[in-house]
Structure 1
Amino acid sequence: MGVSTSSPEKGIALVTVDHPPVNALPVRGWFALADAVRAAGRDPGTRCVVLTARGRGFNAGVDIKEIQADGDEALLGVNRGCAEAFAAVYECETPVVAAVHGFCLGGGIGLVGNADAIVASEDAVFGLPELDRGALGAATHLARLVPPHLMRTLYYTSRTATAAELHAHGSVWRVVPSEELDSAALELAREIAAKDGRLLRLAKAAINGIDPVDVRRSYRFEQGFTFEAALSGVADRVRDTFGKEGAGSD
């Protein structure tokens, strides 16, 4: 369980999240993921990183139960952890391919929205249920996946979009049957990793340099409103209602 790194093929680093039951990560999990992605990208032998997960879904966001139990300390920790994990994906020295199955919610959107490419299984759904969880954030990253008005509608309603819908918008590279997800992600990673390693790193830095949005600063701006919601008490009120409905993770 946790976060692990392997090398299925030369030039490819596979970073896998496995945190049952739904890959809703606690504070330490977000920092572990950030460390793993950064380490994989720094390895001179790595030319592409594949970010994947095991279990029922790719990522269900943060561990709501931890926040309910530990209060402001957990909220501060998870906000910093999410910011670091999202930034690690974006700033990874090599391209990052996200292999998404099942649900990709909350913090999951932060990860895939900062990835360089996304391969998804047919059952994958993407969304930000933040308003139903007493939180805010990751609109920065959802806006990288869908057009502006759709982003707003998904955000305000907490609805999800399917992998096929994101493919139609151009943000998902391929949609494949669940049993083909790993091979499809590796196929794309293999094609990327066949390029010159030094040139790939220069290309990643160049593309990030012309990005119109500073994703780290934009996300941290959003997090300020998460703190405001917490201080006003509205976050706890909404989270308590969510908890009574029998779920424990965002």
Structure 2
Amino acid sequence: MGISTAAGGPGIAVVTIDYPPVNAFPTQGWFDLADAVRAAGRDADNRVVVIRAANRGFCAGVDIKEIQRNPGHQSLIDANHGCAEVFSAVYDCAVPVVTAVQGFCLGGGIGIVGNSDIVVAADDATFGLPEVDRGALGAATHLARLVPQHLMRALFYTAATIGAAELHRYGSVFRVVPRAELDAVALEVAGQIAAKDGRVIRAAKQALNGIDPQDVHRSYRYEQGFTFELNLSGAADEIRDRFDGDLAAQRAEKG
């Protein structure tokens, strides 16, 4: 359980997320994933990194319960720094990052996917930011890399999700495949990259980042400032408490 790295073939490092049952990240998990991605990129033998996940979905975002258990704002600060570390690690990784997404990809998962170089998704994958329903903001920077501007705003304000097939039509998801084939196809795509000269691939990654029209680091940190404001005002705690109460009620109804 946690973050692990394995070889996926010559030149391929596979980083796996495993926080059952839904991959809601504990605070330390964000830092661990960032460290794993950076280490894989530094390894001169690697020419591509694949990020995948075990369990029902790719990522359920931050573990809200962990934040609510701890008084004060330190857990939130740590989680926000952890998210920024992961998103930066993916974007700045010295080699291309291929992300394989199944099931739900929410919150911080959007930050990982949005900063990836290539996204392969299972046909059951859905993507969204429930932040406004949790008293937080963030990762609109990364959702805007997946969908057009006005659709991003609609998805953000409504906390709605969008399917892999529609993202494929926008070009932000490279391939959509049956869930049983996801890992194999992600490795197939990674293998095509790994077959290239590593010196060229590393130069290409740096070059493409250099011509990116958006400063993803600055814009995401700007968003996070409003999350802190909502927490300082007390609004975020009220919303998260209400969310916890709704979950408890749903469990009670199910018996």
Q: TM-score, normalised by structure 1?
A: 0.98
- Counterpart in 2 of 1:9? 9
Distance in 1, matches of 2:225 and 2:197, equals: 41
Query: Unmatched 5+ residue regions in structure 2?
Result: 249-255
TM alignment of 1:24-35, pairs within 5 A: 24-35=24-35
TM alignment of 1:59-78, pairs within 5 A: 59-70=59-70, 71-78=72-79
Distance in 1, matches of 2:54 and 2:109, equals: 13
Distance in 2, matches of 1:197 and 1:218, equals: 30
The one-letter amino acid paired with 1:36 is A
Distance in 1, matches of 2:181 and 2:52, equals: 13
- The offset of 1:21, in angstroms, is 1.5
Q: How many residues align?
A: 247
Q: Deviations over 1:67-123 (max 9, x none)?
A: 101140100000000000000000000000000000000000000000000000000
The one-letter amino acid paired with 2:215 is D
Give 4+ residue runs of structure 1 displaced > 6 Å after superposition. none
- Counterpart in 2 of 1:39? 39
- Counterpart in 2 of 1:82? 83
Residue 246 of structure 1: SS of its match in structure 2?
helix
Residue 135 of structure 1: SS of its match in structure 2?
coil
- Counterpart in 1 of 2:22? 22
Q: TM-score, normalised by structure 2?
A: 0.96
Computed over aligned residues only, the root mean square deviation of the Cα atoms, in angstroms, reads 0.7
- Counterpart in 2 of 1:225? 226
Does residue 52 of structure 1 match 2:55?
no
TM alignment of 1:1-250, pairs within 5 A: 1-70=1-70, 71-246=72-247
Distance in 1, matches of 2:216 and 2:206, equals: 14
- Counterpart in 1 of 2:253? none
Moved more, 236-245 or 113-122: 236-245
The one-letter amino acid paired with 1:163 is A
The one-letter amino acid paired with 2:91 is Y
Q: Deviations over 1:25-78 (max 9, x none)?
A: 011000000000000000000000000000000000000001101140100000
The one-letter amino acid paired with 2:27 is V
Q: Deviations over 1:213-248 (max 9, x none)?
A: 11011100000000000001111111111111117x
Percent sequence identity is 67
Query: Unmatched 5+ residue regions in structure 1?
Result: none
Distance in 1, matches of 2:47 and 2:8, equals: 13
